[in-house]
Structure 1
Amino acid sequence: MSDTSACLQRIASGRWFQGLPEELREALGRAALVRQLPAGQRLFARGDAPCGLYCVVEGQMRIGAVGASGKEALLALVEAPNWFGEICLFDGQPRTHDAYAEGPTILLQVPMPALRALLDRHPEYWRDFALLMSHKLRMTFAVLEELALLPAATRLARRLLMLAESYGETGASQRELHLPQEQLAAMLGLSRQTTNHILKDLESRGLLRLSYGGIEILDHPGLRRAAQAEA
């Protein structure tokens, strides 16, 4: 998919993009470039200079960081129609994390010069980008609170729901998640064994079905009840 207009149609239902003023949506569309990444391709690394705002059109981006030990902290798996990379727009500082294509991935990129020129002409649009960042900040606080207060099984159920609902961007829930257990464990800071034990329990309760490299959610209401347990 190399046509910008086709990409814009694919992401039109995204909650943030859909809620923008029509003039801002059109301006972002005019400035957007289509990027196609093969599996494993790095988009940017921690410490890189700001390069703009991105939206996943197709595929999946892995956001994380690798420590001195070589262990990866996996923070998020970003799918369509989520936008990311807005922090650098506000502070002009280097990238905070690494971003890799998890599989073949199509992105829209709005380069930094175009964003700055747009906001110089229309400073009233800063609020719209602030709303994008505040949504991420709220999710971050929620995850930190869960890490401190909730048992592993509850946190895992909540993260599955968050991924199924595309971090609140689509207003709908996916049934199938292309998510290996190793990645889910890394996102939650759990061992592979603990993650597998919890998933097997949820499967025995008829809430999901496990497959190689994926998780199928069979009972969204039931999983939501599991996510509320001991909260």
Structure 2
Amino acid sequence: MANIKSELKQGLAKTMWAHMLAPDHVQKAEDEIVERFIPAGGYVCRKGDPVDHWMGVLDGFLKMSSISPEGKTVTFSCMLAGGWFGEGSLLKTEPRRYDVVALRDTRVAYMPRSTFTFLLDNSIPFNRFLLHQLNERLGLFISLVEYDRMLDPDTRVARCLAAMFNPYLNPGSSMQLQISQEEIGYISSVSRQRANQALQLLEKKQLLSVDYGGITILNLEGLRRYPEPVAA
């Protein structure tokens, strides 16, 4: 148990909100959060589930998605280590409106609703963090509608990769990202083969380099604005 708590503490250190809290509030969160292991392909939560926790990625990679009435899978977001999600459903007290699936073996932290509510009621920094995070997530979802309806696959891959480096939604991301082409396809709503073609094009544009088992971002602003040129 001591080792698990130590790993949890290290995982919380990657988050932005934990650094904002008073020491006694951080301690309360550490004491009441539980950790679960979700194997690759496993569900962290399902659409329609009751919402009892705020959840965060300690280590691994998650995809937030839903299936339309026509059977199309729509990917809303992905979460890497340090990213937390589900605050909107907790605040509205409604059933879960999406599925969250582990794309690889993942350790997930579960903060009980009671702890979340306590921090909401007693911590101004926590409220400020949530306000910024909700604003960032709204901006992300609006941009994803644009990606899906208006952009070609190459641009969609570029913009979806860039979105993974949001400091509020995925604060633990480094420029070297361990991600497979299949996973890039998942988050961009394209096939693995089409993701591979897009990566080759973006590599030729010197926006990223394709490494064994992942990619390295060379020009994040270029990815965010692709295909628009970025001033030197």
Superposition TM-score, scaled by structure 2 size:
0.79
Distance 1:86 1:201, change over 3 A: same
Matched, 1:86 2:83: no
Distance 1:19 1:158, change over 3 A: farther
1:48 paired residue number = 49
Deviates more, 1:152-161 or 1:48-57: 152-161
Distance 1:189 1:42, change over 3 A: closer
Distance 1:210 1:148, change over 3 A: same
For residue 24 of structure 1, report the CA deviation from its aligned partner: 3.2
Matched to 1:224, the amino acid is E
What value does the CA root-mean-square deviation take over the aligned residues?
3.0
Matched, 1:215 2:214: yes
Matched to 2:221, the amino acid is R
Matches within 5 A, 1:30-49: 30-49=31-50
For residue 172 of structure 1, report the CA deviation from its aligned partner: 5.6
Matched to 1:158, the amino acid is R
Matched residue count: 225
Distance 1:22 1:136, change over 3 A: farther
Structure 2 Cα separation of the partners of residues 171 and 224 of structure 1? 18
CA contact (8 A) 2:137 2:169 kept: no
Structure 1 Cα separation of the partners of residues 71 and 136 of structure 2? 30
Alignment gaps of 5+ in structure 2: none
Partner of 1:95, secondary structure, is: coil
1:224 paired residue number = 221
CA contact (8 A) 1:153 1:198 kept: yes
Matches within 5 A, 1:162-181: 162-163=163-164, 169-170=170-171, 173-181=174-182
Matches within 5 A, 1:47-126: 47-119=48-120, 122=122, 124=124, 125-126=126-127
For residue 226 of structure 1, report the CA deviation from its aligned partner: 4.8
CA contact (8 A) 1:53 1:86 kept: yes
CA contact (8 A) 1:45 1:98 kept: yes
Structure 1 Cα separation of the partners of residues 34 and 21 of structure 2? 19
CA contact (8 A) 1:150 1:230 kept: no
Structure 2 Cα separation of the partners of residues 33 and 229 of structure 1? 40
Alignment gaps of 5+ in structure 1: none
Matched to 1:215, the amino acid is G
Structure 2 Cα separation of the partners of residues 5 and 31 of structure 1? 14
Partner of 1:100, secondary structure, is: strand
Structure 1 Cα separation of the partners of residues 169 and 43 of structure 2? 25
Identity of aligned residues (%): 24
Partner of 2:29, secondary structure, is: helix
Partner of 1:40, secondary structure, is: coil
Superposition TM-score, scaled by structure 1 size:
0.79
